[in-house]
Amino acid sequence: MKDIETRFKELCQNANLVGASSVIIKDNKIDKIMNYGYYDKENKKEMTENTIIRIASVSKLEVALCVMMLEEKGLIDLDEDISTYLGFKVRNPKYPNDKITIRMIMTQTSSISDGLELYYDDKEDVFSGYNYILENGLRVDIEELLQENGKYYQDSFNEYQPGTHFEYSNFGCGTLACILERVSGEFFFDFFKENVSEKLNIKASFMASDFKDEIVSSSYTGSGKLNRTGQSFIDRSITKRALGQNYVGPAGGLFISMKDLSTLMLAYMNDGKGLVKKETMDKMLEMNWYGDRCGDYTAKGLQFQILDIFDNVRLYGHFGTAYGIKTFLFFNPHQKIGIVFATSGGGFKMMNNDISDVQYYLLEKFVGDYWNYDLQSDVYFTPGDDYLIHDGRRVNVEYKTEKDKINPKRPYIDIMSMLDAFGFSTYIGKTEIDKKYEKSHLFDFVYDIKNAYEYNCEIKEEYKNKDFLHPVKYHYHIYYKKKDENQKKELKFNYHTHCNYCDHADGTVMDYMDMAYKLGYECLGMSDHGPLPDFYRHPKNEDKTAFLHGRMDFEKMVNEYVRDINEAKKKYEGKMKVLASIEIEYFEGMEEYLKKCLDNLDYLVMGEHYNIASGEVVDTYSNCNYKNVIPYAKVMAKGLDTGLFKVVAHPDIFMFRYVSENGIYREFDKNASIAARIIIEAAVRNNVLIELNCGGLSRGKCINEDGSIEYGYPRSEFFNIVKEYKNAKVVIGIDAHSPYALQGRHIEKIIALAKELGLNPINIK
């Protein structure tokens, strides 16, 4: 197995990064320093952990930290109207009676918008609001953006009610800096320097001009072309505007080295030590929002992103992107581990979870090497209290109401902190106490947690006076840890595997084969995205009716991709079965083309991300709805009836962003049910394997309009229909986009989900 330094270098090389730096913390000290390439490519100046880099949106954590210093002193209230602190009334014009609070801004739910930012190849770019001001370098008072009748007021707010939806906003963070200035009477930039960088004795500033004698990194585009020199950052440094008007810069403008950023991260990891009180840090890390979108942003503390993309792992921090630079800071205080990363730029590719490939795979390797699954955790809770204690951190508890269920504005409890979302009744059985609090989120299940954790629960009873027969309170102490990895079930084979040929996965064919053999797989089928006929690839199609990125062409498939698989077949002959396949859409009339592909392969996987049904493009990621889902399913059925496919991948992916006839997002309505039966029946009559897809788990959970939370896919409604067909065959597909995905973080959870759904996938050992 490669060590993390080798992996770091490999990721940087594969992405053609110009330069990068990363520092890893373990047990409150630096464990690894990793550097690659240049901060100044033109002059061959090498990147080091002391190179000053603009860390983009990781800066938002520091803005929040400074604001929380005021909250700690009682100078602000997180749930007070921001109008109180800005000195003028702020209202979303569509919701004039709804206040906007600091908590909403810190959770990106305030409805304060950055405005439009649209780029075109064939016409003039379009900007509005905050983005228009930035694009044109205007010096505009914040009142012109947020106060009624201000010149840019109408462009500064989203359509939704404040506090109800997540929408990323840089301007919101800048507004926090203005609030800080008006409350404290100090410039934000000076406040940060005095209360953070000087206290920690680090070199960090939002004003690049403070680094005239330091090494500041240049930034580069995806092709490696110079974007901005380090000197230009200094020369064009943010300058102070009038007090209370410095909303430009704080959202992404902090300059700091990775070594000093790791020092700042250590303060976050250790209860805010040296900066704020423990109670303040607890508030910042507590889940204040979980949400209505998928990808990397599904939960937030106060400005901190709560990252749950790796099974049974929780990280706190933030990603950053600006001027070609990519950054992140993530840690876990209980595990005492953390990692910071920044690059001067290069060829990143964005993945389905909205994270770039280098950032995702480096975090994946970090978690794999540093996370201690044997570490025990503790939860103390007394039903009726408004908080619990999890691993020494205080976490607020709120109980459901019907209004909250329909329109959740804040989490009812920090679910993931409550043992990855399983309830107390798992331990103690149903009691009167359970019934009393059954409307709390304490009793929500994600999957059968018994398969994943070893746990115990101690119950203390509290009595009033000398009545020892009738306890008035129960106090719970739960301690738990992850089960031994060797106890988990494994897969015999996987037919759904991607690699670097699709241009958005990581690792060569042989990397996957080596990993599979090491893990004891009996068979691995490589099934990268296959080439489509030219007509279906925009822009060659004048109608622009179809487009998929990240596809090899036919010649590359035959001459390179299949060649690499054949080399793996030779290497593992007699040891492990190796199969060649592609994942590909079916369009009406392409049977002969598919046969031509199959002549070079062992099988085909149908991955119907979109098709053309009744003359309309149906894209499962954007426009699948009650009107087009049945025609979409009929095209799939016609493809399955060709007899050319062995597996139908993520057959329920049409539900990912489905809109029902009632206008309800992701509702499994009658049309969805009809479409499901069309697909399932076609699979059954053609003996095609129906895939339970791990990739849906990697995207995280989505919140439905009825308040329920579940994965985008697999969908239980779909597979409950599958169970009605006796001859249906279900197979687990890892949908691996990294060799490390074969290790099984999502496999264990998908196996538990299969058990919960009453399914018996054919490839479980």
DSSP assignments along 255-313, one per residue: EE-HHHHHHHHHHHHTTTTTTS-HHHHHHHHS--EE-S--SS-SEESSS-EEE--STT-
- Measure the CA–CA gap between 397 and 414, rounded to whole angstroms: 7
Query: Could you tell me the pLDDT band of residue 437, with boundaries at 50, 70 and 90?
Result: very low
**Average pLDDT, stretch 98-113?**
96
- Measure the CA–CA gap between 653 and 230, rounded to whole angstroms: 45
Which pLDDT does position 496 carry in this prediction?
96
For residue 118, the one-letter residue type is: L
What is the average pLDDT score of the chain? Answer: 85
- Measure the CA–CA gap between 397 and 415, rounded to whole angstroms: 10
Cβ distance 63 to 251 under 8 Å?
A: yes
- At residue 539, does pLDDT exceed 80? no
554-608 pLDDT, tens digit per residue, is 999 999 999 999 999 999 999 999 999 999 999 998 999 999 999 999 999 999 9
CATH 3.40.710.10 domain residues, the chain:
4-113+157-370
- At residue 92, does pLDDT exceed 60? yes
Which DSSP string corresponds to 509-556? HHHHHHHHHHHT-SEEEEEEEPPPPGGGSTTTSTT-----SS---HHH
Q: What percent of the chain has pLDDT over 70?
A: 83
- Measure the CA–CA gap between 584 and 597, rounded to whole angstroms: 10
Which pLDDT does position 5 carry in this prediction?
96
CATH 3.20.20.140 domain residues, the chain:
493-757
The CATH code that applies to domain 493-757 is: 3.20.20.140
Cβ distance 504 to 695 under 8 Å?
A: no
363-373 pLDDT, tens digit per residue, is 999 999 999 98
Domain 4-113+157-370 matching CATH 3.40.50.300: the answer reads no
Cβ distance 414 to 390 under 8 Å?
A: yes
Question: Considering only 158-172, 185-199, 561-575, 611-625, which range has the smallest mean pLDDT?
Answer: 611-625
- At residue 636, does pLDDT exceed 90? yes
Bond preceding residue 533 cis, omega within 30 of 0: no
Nearest to 22 by CA among 217, 369, 350, 261: 261
233 in helix, strand or coil?
helix
**Average pLDDT, stretch 318-322?**
94
pTM: 0.69
Which pLDDT does position 292 carry in this prediction?
53
**What is the CB neighbour count within 10 angstroms for residue 153?**
18
| Distant-in-sequence, close-in-space partners of 627: CB < 8 Å, separation ≥ 6 | none
Q: What percent of the chain has pLDDT over 90?
A: 61
**Average pLDDT, stretch 631-636?**
96
Query: Could you tell me the pLDDT band of residue 387, with boundaries at 50, 70 and 90?
Result: confident
Which pLDDT does position 542 carry in this prediction?
47
Which pLDDT does position 602 carry in this prediction?
97
Torsion of CA 78, 80, 86, 92, to 10 degrees: 110
Strands 577-584 and 603-606: parallel
Which pLDDT does position 481 carry in this prediction?
73
Bond preceding residue 96 cis, omega within 30 of 0: no
- Measure the CA–CA gap between 578 and 273, rounded to whole angstroms: 53
Q: End-to-end CA distance of the chain, in Å?
A: 24
Which pLDDT does position 406 carry in this prediction?
37
The residue that leads in pLDDT, 118 or 674, is 674
**Average pLDDT, stretch 719-732?**
95
Query: Could you tell me the pLDDT band of residue 471, with boundaries at 50, 70 and 90?
Result: low
